[in-house]
Amino acid sequence: MRLSQAFLPVLKESPSDAQIVSHKLMLRAGLVRQTAAGIYAWLPLGLKVLRKIEQIVREEQDRAGAIEMLMPTIQSADLWRESGRYDAYGPEMLRIRDRHDREMLFGPTNEEMITAIFRDDVRSYRDLPRTLYHIQWKFRDEVRPRFGVMRGREFLMKDAYSFDLDEAGARQSYYTQLLAYLRTFQRMGIRAVPMKAASGPIGGDLSHEFIVLAPTGESEVFYDADYDAMDWSQTELRYGDAAGLHAMFERIGQTYAATDETHDEARWSQVPGERQRQGRGIEVGHIFYFGTKYSDAMGLRVSGPDGTMVTPHMGSYGVGVSRLVGAIIEASHDDSGIIWPEAVAPWSVGIVTMRGDDAASRQAAGDFYDKLTSLGVEALYDDRDERGGAKLAGMDVMGLPKQIIIGPRGLAQGLVELKDRRTGEKQELSIESALARLTA
Ligand code: P5A
C-alpha cells in the first residue's frame, strides 16, 4: 500500500478520552473510531490486524477438527426462553422488537441457537462427536463499556460448541480446544496463561480463562514461571492422542496459575519464590464444559449405540477476537507506539524516504516497494512529501516490525537502512541484501 493512496487517519495529539495505552494507540494510529458508546468502526489498519487474528484463530480451530459455520447476530427471544436464560440474562441483553412485535435480541452468545440447530438435524450417536464454531459479532450491553475494544458492547468473538456422547468424550473435546487455544495465542506472539475459572452465567463446573499479562488488566493474576518455558507448537502432541491430551491437562493442573477469584495462598506458597509471577491480566479466551445443561433444557437427544436415547454433553469455547487487538498492544508497545508481533502485523515492512523531494530516493523506494510486494511481502510505503522524521514517527506509532529507511547519502553508495521496530537496531545494507533479509 502506498500511503498517499491509503486511508490511514493518524492523530497528532494523544486522545484525552482514552485511559489505557492500547486504546490511545488504537485511536492515534487510526485502527478504530468510536461511533457510539462501546461501538467501534474498524478503519483499514485495524481491520487488517483484526483479520490476521481471526485467520490464526480459524486455522487453529480447523487444525483441531472444529468445523466452521456462521450463525446470525439476531436471534429470537423464544429460543432463549427454551433454556430459561431469556429472563436470567438481565439488562446486558439487547432486546429488540420487529415490525410484527416479535421479541428478538442481538446475540450475546450462541449456546441456545447451536443446540437448536443440532437438535433439529442430528438423530444418532454416529453424528457425534462434533465441534462447530463461528466467528461473529456479539452484543452485550455492558454497564461500563471501557478501554476501547477491550470491553466493547459490540465485539467479535470466535465461539465454538462441542457435542459428545458422554462426559469422557466431552473432556476430550475440552482438552482439544484447550490445546488449540494454547497454540492460537502462541502463534500470535503473546503468552496467554490458562487459569482455572468460575463459569458464571454460561454454567458448568470445568472452566479455564486464558490470561495475557498486562499492567492494565482487569484481574490480579498469579502464575508459575514454568508456563513461560512451555512450547505448545510441538507437533508430537496430536489432537487424536487421548493420553497425550490428558497428560497436557494434568501438567497444566499441576502448574500453578490463578486469578484473584480462585487464588489459593496455600498452593501458591509451594511455588518456589523465584518462579512466582504476579501481575494483572486480560482475559482473551474462556472455555467451559457444562454437561447436559442446554441439551437437557432444550430436548436435544440422540439414539445411542444400544438404541436407548442419550442426552449429549456440551462445552463452549470463546476467543475475544476484537479484544485481542487491544490486548496484544497492551502486551507489546513502547513509548513510541505499537510493536506488532510479526504474525499479526498489518504490514511486515514500512518504507520511508528521508527526503520525499529527492528524485533518486523516490525512485529507489518505489522500486524497493514493487519488488517486495511482487515477492509477496506486505509493505506500506510512505510516499508522501513530508519530513523524514514525521514519517519515521508515524511508522513507529503504527508498529510495523521492520522499517526500510532510504536517504540520499546512503543511496549514493547503494545503501539503505533496515530498522527493527522492537529492538530499535539499525543496519546499513545494500538494497539486494535488504531485500534478501526481508524475504528470507
Ligand atoms: C464461550 C463461547 C462465552 O460467551 N459462550 C460462547 C461462552 N464466554 S465469555 O467468556 O463470556 O466470552 C468469551 C470471550 O469473549 C471476550 N469478551 C469480550 N470482548 C470484548 N468486549 C466485551 N464486552 C467482551 N465480553 C467478552 C473475552 O475475551 C471472553 O474471554
Model pLDDT for residues 356-378, shown as the tens digit of each residue: 899 999 999 999 999 999 999 99
Q: What distance in Å separates the CA atoms of residue 115 and residue 327, rounded to the nearest whole number? A: 31
Could you tell me the residue range of the domain that residue 14 belongs to? Answer: 3-338
In this structure, the residue with its CA closest to atom 13 of ligand 1 is 318
Residue 101 sits in the same domain as residue 223: yes
On the question of pLDDT at 200 being above 80, the answer is no
Rg (CA), the chain: 24
**155 in the same domain as 136:** yes
d(CA 354, CA 429): 16
267 to 47, 198, 207, 254, 276: CA distances (angstroms):
43, 18, 19, 10, 11
Q: How confident is the model at residue 235 (pLDDT cuts 50, 70, 90)?
A: confident
Same domain, 333 and 363: no
Instruction: Decide whether any atom of ligand 1 lies within 6 Å of the 151 Cβ.
Output: yes
Nearest atom in ligand 1 to the alpha carbon of residue 142 is 23
Do 316 and 358 fall within a single domain?
Answer: no
| CATH number of the domain where residue 107 is located | 3.30.930.10
Calculate how far, in angstroms, residue 318's C-alpha sits from the geometric centre of ligand 1.
6
Helix (H/G/I), strand (E/B), else coil: 96 = strand
pLDDT digits (tens, 9 = 90+) for 66-97: 999 999 999 999 999 999 999 999 999 999 99
Q: Which of 287, 306, 338 is the last residue of a domain?
A: 338
- 429 CA to centre of own chain: 35
Answer yes or no: do 427 and 323 share one domain: no
pLDDT for the residue 137: 98
Residues whose CB falls within 8 Å of the CB of residue 232, separated by 6 or more in sequence, listed in order: 179, 182, 183, 186
Cβ of 285 closer than 6 Å to ligand 1, yes or no, is yes
Same domain? 245 vs 371: no
Amino acid sitting at position 194: P
Q: What is the rounded average pLDDT of the residues 45-60?
A: 98
- Whether residues 127 and 265 fall in one domain: yes
Ligand 1 pocket: which of 61, 154, 157 to mutate (most atoms within 8 A of CB): 157
Residue 331's H or E segment, with its range, is helix 321-331
Write out pLDDT tens, residues 378-426. Answer: 999 999 999 999 999 999 999 999 999 999 999 999 999 999 999 999 9
| Cβ of 283 less than 6 Å from ligand 1 | yes
Cα–Cα distances (Å) from 221 to 212, 247, 256, in that order, read 10, 24, 11
pLDDT-derived band at 353 (thresholds 50, 70, 90) equals very high
Rounded CA-CA distance 137/183 in Å is 23
Distance CA 27, CA 433 (A): 36
Domain boundary among 338, 362, 396: 338
Inter-CA distances, 34 with 41, 136, 149, 195, 322, Å: 6, 19, 9, 32, 14
Helix, coil or strand: residue 435:
helix
Residues 100 and 127 in one domain: yes
State the average pLDDT over residues 22-42.
96
CB-ligand 1 contact for 24 (6 Å cutoff)? no
- The DSSP bridge pattern shows strands 309-310 and 219-224 to be unpaired
- Mutation pick for ligand 1 pocket among 146, 287, 323 (CB with most ligand atoms within 8 Å): 323
Distance 136 CA to ligand 1 centre (A): 12
CA 102–ligand 1 middle distance (angstroms)? 27
- The single-letter code of the amino acid at 286 is H
Q: How far is the CA of 325 from the centre of ligand 1 (A)?
A: 14
- The residue nearest atom 14 of ligand 1, judged by CA position, is 320
127: number of Cβ within 10 Å: 13
At 203 the pLDDT is 62
Q: What is the pTM of this model?
A: 0.96
C-alpha cell at 116: 437448536
Statement to judge: residues 330 and 380 lie in one domain: no
Domain count across the chain? 2
Query: Ligand 1 centroid vs 138 CA: distance in angstroms?
Result: 9
Rounded CA separation 428/20 (Å): 36
Q: Do 152 and 22 meet the contact criterion of CB atoms below 8 Å apart?
A: no
Average pLDDT, the chain: 95
Q: 331 and 351 in one domain?
A: no
Tally of helices (H runs) and strands (E runs) in the chain:
14, 23
Residues 11 and 111 in one domain: yes
